[in-house]
Amino acid sequence: MNFYGLIKSTLIDYPNRVASVLFTKGCNLACPYCHNRELIDGTDIEPYAFEDILTHLRKRSHVLSGVVISGGEPLLYADELQPCIDEIHNMGYKVKLDTNGLLYERLIRMRHIDFIAMDIKTSIDKYHLVCPHFTDSVRQNIINSIDYIMQSGIDYEFRTTVVPEIVTMDDISRICGKIRGAKKYSLAQFRPKNTLDRSYEDVIPYGDSFFTQAKQIVEAAGIECELRVGY
């Protein structure tokens, strides 16, 4: 299997671990504010063969302790990805999976996952803004994925990129209603650059006061809140 991006070392993508990040191409959403637009089809990116990634992980095993599988949406390649995860696991690495939760049936079949980060794009009734093919089935998959993650015993976090209009304070409240009792919910500031829809490069991100109020809402729901702003 090929990957379409590699961060060799990061301190921020896997909580409490120094990790490498591997990116898959393609996504089953079309978030207009996505800043990984080059990963939608991967046509302008030189792929990394998995053997080359294994070589990197062997060389850096004295520094790294985790590997993050991100995208795009990695579960589009669940069958191809699983043997790669198995091999990374057998090397002694902890594996974190980033997902949007739309592919519930594939999510629950994955093995050797130590941490799941699920993006919740907005309140479920507004998912049509980021998912052109939004249906009742997609809605149920999102709900099922949330429930599975919270009950699986696997470490996890939920996270939302807070984009004006797509995510309002009311949406934060509605999301908290769905994940009440969750371990952690991270709110990230929207970055208006390299967006899939170029018009979003003119959108002004929310300021500090929005995030202060949003954090209060999250914590009132009994959820640890991490703010990722200013980058």
In this structure, are residues 130 and 121 in contact, taking their beta carbons and an 8 Å threshold? yes
Locate 24 and state its tokens. Answer: 């898959």
List pLDDT tens digits, range 35-70.
888 888 777 788 999 999 999 999 999 999 999 999
Locate 32 and state its tokens. Answer: 């207009």
Identify the CA nearest to 215 among candidates 205, 223, 204: 223
Whole-number Å distance between alpha carbons of 78 and 128: 25
Whole-number Å distance between alpha carbons of 214 and 82: 37
List pLDDT tens digits, range 177-216.
999 999 999 999 999 998 999 999 999 999 999 999 999 9
Locate 154 and state its tokens. Answer: 């696997």
Cα end-to-end distance, the chain, whole Å: 31
Q: Is the pLDDT of residue 86 over 80?
A: yes
CA contacts within 13 A on the Cβ side of 213: 11
- CA angle at residue 229 from 224 to 231, to 5 degrees? 140
CATH architecture of 2-161: Alpha-Beta Barrel (3.20)
In this structure, are residues 21 and 13 in contact, taking their beta carbons and an 8 Å threshold? yes
In the chain, % of residues over pLDDT 90: 93
Whole-number Å distance between alpha carbons of 124 and 72: 20
Predicted local distance difference test score (pLDDT) of residue 43: 77
Instruction: Identify the three-state secondary structure at position 94.
Output: strand
Domain ranges of the chain: 2-161
Question: What is the average per-residue pLDDT within 3-18?
Answer: 96
Predicted local distance difference test score (pLDDT) of residue 38: 87
Question: What is the average per-residue pLDDT within 77-101?
Answer: 98
Predicted local distance difference test score (pLDDT) of residue 190: 95
Q: How far is CA 201 from the centre of its chain?
A: 21
Q: What residues have CB less than 8 Å from 169, skipping those under 6 apart? A: 210, 213, 214, 217
